[in-house]
Every structure is written in structure tokens, then in C-alpha cells.
Structure 1
Amino acid sequence: MTSRPRAYLVLATQRSGSTLLVESLRATGQAGHPEEFFQYLPHSDLAPQPREWFAGVTDESILRLLDPLEPGTPQTETAQEWAARIRSVGATDNGVWGGKLMWNQTPLLTAHAAGLPNRSGTDLRSAIADLLGPDVLYVHVYRDDIAAQAVSMWRAVQTRVWRGAADPEVDARAEYHAGGIAHLHRILAEQERSWRRWFAEADVSPIEIDYRQLASDTTAEVARVLEALDLDPGLAPPPVLQRQANARSSDWIARYLRDSHGTEPLEKGASA
């Protein structure tokens, strides 16, 4: 590689702090327009809906808390149209492109990329390279406390508020359910293990960003990414999003850990 990357991909799991990072990068006006481009399901062209996170779950005490499915509209874009749109929409005028990818979205990315001409391979890394070029900066945002992460996601799938603080009336409609949280805990833990396996298998060494450090000093973590992109780290703004966690979050986390007899956080570098 003869120059700094002009594209970056934030790799994460849901409720890990990745939105805080990408929205702060977007706010610089120089670090692309990072979106979750790869989340849309082909049968609906919608992001996974609350009930789709609970596929196979039959417990009505969980399902009653989740909105009904919306049908959406099946995707009709060709692979070339998909690639052209993402390359264009994700880039700022200086040519820097930004995006975000969750592990559950990787099959969608590779399936779309399979239709591109002159593919270099069939695996995830080749799909990313064929879409964005060979020199992509990978940024891994992770959260060791997956119990807290699962509680956050359980509240979000009920309120459908994924960024910023929910209206108190909307948040009040969310109900604690140990089974719902445990289901998401298992999904999030396995996704994080899958990312770490992929880093080893694909020989990827991302910038590592811990949720706790990102939350406590957002500006410094954003500056690290900017510097790796050969952009001015002084562009890093103060935090652009309000934290959703509150006293209710803490209460639910403590209650869930009691109900589940304690759950060990996934240690950094752990694998299946």
C-alpha cells in the first residue's frame, strides 16, 4: 500500500457504540457518509425488524412485546446498481468513503457482491475489496459487557429507537424480559466471536475501539480513525449523540445478571 486508505469500514455488533463513532466521523464533513449500507433484507428492502431478531422463538410473552412484521418491497437493484449507489452515497467530496458492517449483514454483502463482474474471490474480504478497493481501513468497535449490550438491544427492539434518547413515554412501554434479553445476548456474543475468528482467518488487523473508551473520550477515538485516514485529527468533534443508557438500564442489567445467575463478559481476544 503506497498511501493511506481512502475507505474505511466499521465492523461491530448491534448496540456496541458503533453509531456514536460513525456519526462523529460523519460530522467532520471529511470522513465519508458512513451508513449501515448492508443491513437491508432482499425480501423486504428493510433492516431486520424486531420479530426477525426472534425467528424461531415461540414464547408469546416475548413476541407480544414486539411490533408486527411489515411486508416491505422486494429488492430489484442489480449488483452493479447496488455497488454504484453505495460507492457514491458513502463518499464525501474529498473521496473518502465510510460505512458500517455488522456480522449478521456479511451474508447480504457477499450475496450482492457475487453479481459483480470480474470477482476476485467468493469470500467476505474479496467481496469488500471488489466493492471498495483493496486498501480498506477496518475499525472494530466492541463491547466486553455483552449483558449490558443485550439489555440495550432489548429496549431498542421494543421502542425502535436506535439512536439518541427515547421519548420517556415511548421508553416506558418497553418491558423487562429475561428470556428476550438472553436470546439477544446469545446472538451478540456469537457475532462478536465470529468477527474475531474472521480477523484471524482473513489476516485482518483492525483499529480496536473499546466501547468504554469510546463513551468516555469520543473525540480521542474519532481522532485515531481520522489520523489513520490521513485526515486532520483536529476535526474530531465532541460527542454528537446523547447516551440512551439510564437508571432503568442499570436496573435491568442487574436484574438480568441475577436471573441468569451471572454472565461473564466476552474477554478481548476470546474465541469460540
Structure 2
Amino acid sequence: MTEAQRSFLVCASQRSGSTLLVESLRATGVAGEPEEFFQYLPETSRSPQPRQWFEDVTDESVLGLLAPFHPGTPDTRTSEQWRTQLLELGRTPNGVWGGKLMWNQTPLLLDRAAGLPWRSGTDLRSALHDTLDHDLQFIHVYREDVVAQAVSMWRAVQTQVWRDDATPPNLSDGAQYNALGIAHLVTILGEQERQWKRWFEEEDISPIEIGFRDLTEDPQSVVAKTLISLGLDGQLAPPPPLRRQSDGRSREWVQRYRIDAEQNGYPVT
């Protein structure tokens, strides 16, 4: 494996299957420790909370289903301290570093990189180079069905359960269907995907492309191919470490939303 392949970044949007990919890569013990390092807001030291995804929504039928805001604790690390820590945490002993970045997190990365004394530019590519590596391998994980993706996220922001290591989703988890909440997330997730595609094209980047359908249908095979693309041993691909969280209720909500969208003009992409 060459030095140019020793860092990779998974680029995605929420509920796209990226967690299944990075946890599978992590389980190999040789493909970095690809955390979602860029999600934490400096004012709270937490990832965006349910209501922060709906800051421009005023409808109480939506907001009433979401947990109240927790103030958290401010992150007082300097940009250099932040960078040093994420590089240490994301690397396996063989030198491979891995991480994950959602498009909505790019402003946080830009703000952090702006504080580095060797800052080379104000754009995203410069921020990634200054923070991580000039020869990053990009992996693009996407979900073909944005409505299903938004339904999955709508359930997650209500329950605050974002992954499942052992058991199928709880049908009594308290999550409630709400077309307006799902429509809001369809817009956000669809725009994130459009921004990734635009950025890859503008920067002339050809990432490793991984679709949700392929990943969930045969995760071990997809992970094996990804390892090979990173210059690692594909035979190290493990059985999937996470269970798929989609269930009959999610599929029912997807169908219900598509009907509501047709009748009310809600977005579907």
C-alpha cells in the first residue's frame, strides 16, 4: 500500500448506509478508525440534536415529537489540538487513517481549518488537505431512495437511536408518522447529495461509489471491494457488524408519504 492511499474519507448523508460501511471497515483492524469526527458542534460538543435539524420549522405537530434541546458543554480545544486528536483517533497501527464527513458538517470543518496556522485556502478541498492529507481517497456512499432515507432519519430523530448492533427496531419505539417532518428531511438529504455530486465534479474527483442497495444486500462483498480499492486485503471483510434497521413500519411510512406527497406537493427527491 502506498502513502497516497493511507487516508480515506467516507462522504455521505445521514441514513445512507455509511455507518454499516465504516463499522465494517473498522472491524478489520487495518482500515483506520473511521469515526464521524466532524459532527460535533463547538458550542455544545454534541452532534446536532433533533430540534436543530428543524430550526426553520414552526409547526408544533413536528416539533412536539422531538426531544428538547440540551445545552451541552462548549468545546474549548484549539484547531491544532482538534486536528491532532482526530488524526490519532482515526488511525490504526498500520498507519491507515479513516473518517466520515456529511455535507452538512462541511461548515464545521471549514471553521476548524480556518484556525490552523498553515491554512492554505478557504475552500473545502484546502480544508481537507490542511487537516487530513493531500492524497485522500474519497468514498461516496449514497442512498437511491431519498424518501426511504428521510423516513429512516425521521424515526431516528424521534427515538434518538441511530444504530442497532443486535436487535431489530422496536415497533413500540414511540416514533410517529408525520408527513411534514419527513418532507423537511427529504429536502435536506436530497440537497446534501446534490452538493456532494456537484463538489466531486467541480474538484474533478472520482470517488469510490457505493450505493445503499448494494451495500445492504451484500455488505461483505462491498466491503471486500472497498478494501481492495484502498490497497488492503479484501479477505479481511467481516460479516456485517450491524443489523439493518428498516422494517415493515418504515416501508409502510414510505408508501404513505408518497401518497401524501402526490396529493400535497411534498418533495420526493
Q: TM-score, normalised by structure 1?
A: 0.94
Q: CA deviation at 1:170?
A: 5.4
SS at match of 2:24: helix
The equivalent residue for 1:181 is: 182
Quickly say closer, same or farther: Cα 1:264–1:235, change in 2 above 3 A. farther
| 4+ aligned runs moved over 4 Å, structure 1 | 262-266
Structure-to-structure mapping, 1:205-244, within 5 angstroms = 205-244=206-245
SS at match of 2:66: coil
Alpha-carbon separation, structure 1, partners of 2:268 and 2:92: 37
Cα-Cα RMSD: 1.7
Of 168, 179, 183, the match for 2:170: 168
Do structure 1's residue 45 and structure 2's residue 49 form an aligned pair? no
Q: CA deviation at 1:3?
A: 4.8
Alpha-carbon separation, structure 1, partners of 2:206 and 2:105: 20
SS at match of 1:98: strand
Q: CA deviation at 1:131?
A: 1.3
Deviations 1:82-133 (A, max 9, x none): 0000000000000000100000000100110111122221111111111111
Q: Which is further off, 16-25 or 219-228? A: 219-228
Alpha-carbon separation, structure 1, partners of 2:172 and 2:4: 44
Deviations 1:151-209 (A, max 9, x none): 000000001010115662652x0000000000000000011101111011111110000
Quickly say closer, same or farther: Cα 1:211–1:265, change in 2 above 3 A. farther
Question: Does the CA contact (< 8 Å) of 1:150 and 1:188 recur in 2?
Answer: yes
Q: Which amino acid aligns with 2:52?
A: E
The equivalent residue for 2:107 is: 107
- How many residue pairs get matched? 265
Alpha-carbon separation, structure 2, partners of 1:203 and 1:106: 18
Which residues of structure 1 form unaligned runs of 5+? 267-272
Quickly say closer, same or farther: Cα 1:260–1:159, change in 2 above 3 A. same
Question: Does the CA contact (< 8 Å) of 1:49 and 1:69 recur in 2?
Answer: yes
The equivalent residue for 1:65 is: 65
Q: TM-score, normalised by structure 2?
A: 0.95
Q: Which amino acid aligns with 2:41?
A: L
Question: Does the CA contact (< 8 Å) of 2:187 and 2:267 recur in 1?
Answer: no
SS at match of 2:262: coil
Question: Does the CA contact (< 8 Å) of 1:143 and 1:149 recur in 2?
Answer: yes
Deviations 1:8-27 (A, max 9, x none): 00000000000000000000
Question: Does the CA contact (< 8 Å) of 1:17 and 1:211 recur in 2?
Answer: yes
